[in-house]
Amino acid sequence: MYRTHTCGEIRASHAGQTVTLAGWVNRRRDHGGVAFFDLRDRSGVVQITINPDLPKEILDAVANVRFEWVLQIEGFVQKRPAGNENPNMATGEIEIIAKHITILNPAKTLPFMVSSDADLPDENMRLKYRYLDLRRERLTNNMVLRHKVVKFMRDYLDKQGFIEIETPIMFKATPEGARDYLVPSRLFPGQFYALPQSPQQLKQLLMVSGMDKYFQIARCFRDEDLRGDRQPEFTQLDLEMSFVHRDDVLDLVEGLFTEMIPAVAPHKKLYSSPWPKFSYKEVLERFGSDKPDLRFGMELVDVTDILAKSEFKVFQSALEAGGAIKCIVAPKSAEMSRKELDALTEVAKSFGAKGMPYLAVTAEGAKGSAAKFFKEEELTALKEKSGAGVGDLIVFASDARAIVNKTLGGLRLWFRDKLDLADKTMMAFAWVVDFPFFAFNEETQAWESEHHPFTMPKMADLPKFDSNPAEVYSEAYDMVCNGYETASGSIRIHRRDIQMKMFQMLGLSEEDIQAKFGHMLEAFEYGAPPHGGMAPGIDRLVMLLADEPNIREVIAFPKNQNGRDVMADAPSGVEPKQLKELKIKFE
C-alpha cells in the first residue's frame, strides 16, 4: 500500500496513529538538526518532522531531498506543542514524526516555484510546463471546483429526468457563426468531417427521436480569431427539451444555477431570486450592453427631453440627426484630472463617440468642458433626473441612439473597474429575452441570423419576414452574469416550411440547403416535436466562481492566446506519408 491517508486529511483526531503518506516536497526547512518537509498531494499539505535520531541511512538519504521530490513517509501523528500550531493550514494542529522515508522519485529543479503564486512566471512558460503549473494549490482548486460544477449539473439534471447522450465529434458543419475545424478523410479523399461548433443539430435530432430531455457536457470547436478571452475548443452544458415554451427552459436552468451556486461556491451570493428578466431593448437602453453587469448602478439616463433646446452645438447636431442625449453619473469623480478625462475621452471614441462632454458637480456649481452652455433650469432638471450630487461627474453621449448606448455602456464598465464598484462576491444572473431575429451584416450587405439559423422567430412576426426583417423578433434568450454572456439558447424551428424560409432568407441556394441541411429538413417531416434548449458555458462560469481573470486558469490544458498548445507544440507539421494518404498537397 503506497499510503494509508492523504496529506490534507490528517487532523488532531488522528494523533497517536501511525500513517503512511505519499506526495511531493512542497517546502523544506532545516532547523538545528531537525528537518521539516511540507508534504503535498491533491488534498493538501502536512508537515513532516525528521528528527536527528533516525537511522543514519535514512538521514543520509533525506539530506539531498529538494523541492518536488516524490516521497513515501511512514510516521506518527503528533499534536504540535501549544503555540506551534499553524492556523493557516488545515493540518496545522498536527505534525507527522517520520519513522521511515522512501524516495519514490527525485526531481530536477523545476523551471518555476509551484508552492507559491508569488513570482508567477510568464504565461507561455506556465503553459509549456502545464503539468507542473497544475500542481499549484490555486489551479488544483480550480480543477476540483470544475469537477464539482459538472457533477452538480449531472446530478441535478438526472433528478429532473434528463439523460446524458454523447454526440459525435466528427460530423458535418453546424453553424454558430464561426469557421469550422475540418478533419480530412483518408477513406474519402478530398472530403472532410467538420468538428461541431455545438451539438445543435444533433440535439434537435434527438428531440425528433423522442429523447425528450437531453444534456451533454459538450466540447465545442470554433475557429475564430482569438479576440479576447476565447479558446478554439471550449465546454458547454448543452441541453434540449421537448414540448416546452421559453419559460420552461429558463425556469429549469435558473433552478439549476440557483441551487448550484451555494452548493459549489458558498462564498458567492446571488443577486436576486428569481432572476431579473429584461428585453434586449431594455438592457441596451439601461445598461448600454446586451450582457449587463448588474452588480452596480450607474444606469444610463436619457436626458434628450431636458436638453432638447440646448445651446450646445454638439447636442443640437445629434438631435437634428435624429439621435439621443444620454448620460451616466460617476460617483465621487468630479475631481478627475484633465489627463484622466482626456484618456477617458479616447475610451469613449473607441466605442464610436465623437467626443465626451462632461460636467463635474462641485459645491461651487457645475464645471467642465460644456458647463457654460447649460442653463440653470437644465442643470437643475439634469441633477434631479440623473441623481447627480456634489462630487459626482456627469458624462454625456449624444449621437445615434445605438452609439450613445454603446459608448455609455463601455464607460460604465470603465468606471466599474476604476472605482471598484462591483461586489466581487456577487453572481448577478439575469435573463435577456426578445432578441432581434436577424442582424444585418454591413460588410456582406446580407441578413444573418442573430443567434443561429435554427432559432424560432416570434410567430406573430412571421409576416414581416420579407417586408421588414429588422422588426422580426426571436424566441432566443441569453443568460448573463457579471457582464458576461454565460449561456444562450432558443425555442427552435420544428416546422420544415419555416426552417426552409430561414435558410432562404440567409441567401442559401436550394442545392446548398439540401447539401448542408437536407437531413434536418427531412427529419422535420417525420413528426418533429416543438422543442427548445440552451447551452451554458462551463469555462466562463467556473472562471467567475473561482474569481479568475481568464478561462485559461480553469482549463487543464488550454491553448495560449495565439491558439497554440505550447506544451506539446501543436498545431505542428505531420509526416509526408500522412499527407500522401490523405491526398493533401501544399502548393
Say which DSSP state 526 is in.
Answer: G
Q: Which residues contact 535 (CB under 8 A, 6 or more apart)?
A: 198, 218, 236, 237, 238, 239, 487, 488, 489
C-alpha cell read off for 407: 459608448
Question: Grid coordinates 458624462 are at which residue?
Answer: 395
Stretch in the footprint of ligand ASP (CB under 6 A) among 80-88, 243-251, 484-492, 569-577: 484-492
C-alpha cell read off for 386: 440623473
The answer to whether residue 386 forms part of the interface with ligand ASP (CB under 6 A) is no
Interface mask toward ligand ASP for 175-194; x: CB under 6 A: -x------------------
Counting Cα atoms < 13 Å in the Cβ hemisphere of 474 gives 30
The answer to whether residue 453 forms part of the interface with ligand ASP (CB under 6 A) is no
Interface mask toward ligand ASP for 142-181; x: CB under 6 A: ----------------------------------x-----
Nearest distance in Å: CB 140, ligand ASP:
29
Q: d(Cα 407, Cα 358) in Å, to the nearest integer? A: 13
For residue 138, the one-letter residue type is: R
- Interface residue with ligand ASP among 490, 538, 539, 554 (CB under 6 A) is 490
The answer to whether residue 457 forms part of the interface with ligand ASP (CB under 6 A) is no
Q: d(Cα 217, Cα 195) in Å, to the nearest integer? A: 16
Based on CB atoms, which residue is closest to ligand ASP, 224 or 302?
A: 224
Stretch in the footprint of ligand ASP (CB under 6 A) among 125-133, 274-282, 466-474, 531-539: 531-539
- Residue 34: CB atoms within 10 Å: 11
Nearest distance in Å: CB 434, ligand ASP:
16
Can you say whether residue 55 is alpha, beta or left, with left for phi > 0 and alpha for psi between -120 and 50 degrees? Answer: beta
Of residues 545, 553, 554, the one with CA closest to residue 262:
545
Stretch in the footprint of ligand ASP (CB under 6 A) among 339-347, 349-357, 377-385, 486-494: 486-494
Beta-bridged to residue 40, according to DSSP, are 24, 45
Of residues 219, 216, 195, 196, the one with CA closest to residue 206:
216
> How many residues line the site for ligand ASP (CB under 6 A)?
10
C-alpha cell read off for 305: 427631453
Chain centroid to CA 272: how far?
20
The answer to whether residue 200 forms part of the interface with ligand ASP (CB under 6 A) is yes
Based on CB atoms, which residue is closest to ligand ASP, 23 or 536?
A: 536
Based on CB atoms, which residue is closest to ligand ASP, 198 or 449?
A: 198
Beta carbons of 383 and 389 less than 8 angstroms apart: yes
Q: Which residues contact 517 (CB under 8 A, 6 or more apart)?
A: 201, 499, 503
Based on CB atoms, which residue is closest to ligand ASP, 236 or 398?
A: 236
Nearest distance in Å: CB 231, ligand ASP:
14
Strands (E), 222-376: 233-242, 269-270, 277-279, 301-302, 324-330, 358-362, 365-367
Query: Which residues, numbered 217-236, are part of the site for ligand ASP (CB under 6 A)?
Result: 236
Strands (E), 307-412: 324-330, 358-362, 365-367, 393-399
Which phi and psi angles does 66 have, rounded to 5°? Answer: -120, 175
- Interface residue with ligand ASP among 260, 265, 534, 542 (CB under 6 A) is 534
Sign of CA dihedral 11, 17, 20, 26: positive
End-to-end alpha-carbon separation of the chain, Å?
58
- Interface residue with ligand ASP among 8, 44, 489, 558 (CB under 6 A) is 489
Based on CB atoms, which residue is closest to ligand ASP, 67 or 484?
A: 484
Based on CB atoms, which residue is closest to ligand ASP, 449 or 488?
A: 488
Nearest distance in Å: CB 228, ligand ASP:
17
The answer to whether residue 533 forms part of the interface with ligand ASP (CB under 6 A) is yes
Nearest distance in Å: CB 455, ligand ASP:
7
The answer to whether residue 449 forms part of the interface with ligand ASP (CB under 6 A) is no
Nearest distance in Å: CB 184, ligand ASP:
25
- Interface residue with ligand ASP among 26, 167, 242, 488 (CB under 6 A) is 488
Interface mask toward ligand ASP for 278-307; x: CB under 6 A: ------------------------------
Nearest distance in Å: CB 96, ligand ASP:
49
Based on CB atoms, which residue is closest to ligand ASP, 410 or 533?
A: 533
Nearest distance in Å: CB 478, ligand ASP:
9
Beta-bridged to residue 525, according to DSSP, are none
Of residues 419, 220, 413, 235, the one with CA closest to residue 331:
419
Based on CB atoms, which residue is closest to ligand ASP, 37 or 221?
A: 221
Based on CB atoms, which residue is closest to ligand ASP, 22 or 476?
A: 476
Nearest distance in Å: CB 309, ligand ASP:
46
User: CB burial class (10 A; 0-12, 13-18, 19+) of residue 419?
Assistant: middle
Stretch in the footprint of ligand ASP (CB under 6 A) among 251-259, 274-282, 440-448, 485-493: 485-493
The answer to whether residue 139 forms part of the interface with ligand ASP (CB under 6 A) is no
Strands (E), 13-153: 18-31, 34-41, 44-50, 70-79, 94-105
Interface mask toward ligand ASP for 233-272; x: CB under 6 A: ---x------------------------------------
Q: d(Cα 335, Cα 220) in Å, to the nearest integer? A: 48
User: CB burial class (10 A; 0-12, 13-18, 19+) of residue 347?
Assistant: middle
Q: Which residues contact 23 (CB under 8 A, 6 or more apart)?
A: 7, 39, 40, 41, 70, 71
Based on CB atoms, which residue is closest to ligand ASP, 207 or 366?
A: 207
Nearest distance in Å: CB 440, ligand ASP:
20
Q: d(Cα 156, Cα 356) in Å, to the nearest integer? A: 49
Nearest distance in Å: CB 535, ligand ASP:
4
The answer to whether residue 499 forms part of the interface with ligand ASP (CB under 6 A) is no
Binding site for ligand ASP (CB under 6 A): 176, 198, 200, 236, 488-490, 533-535
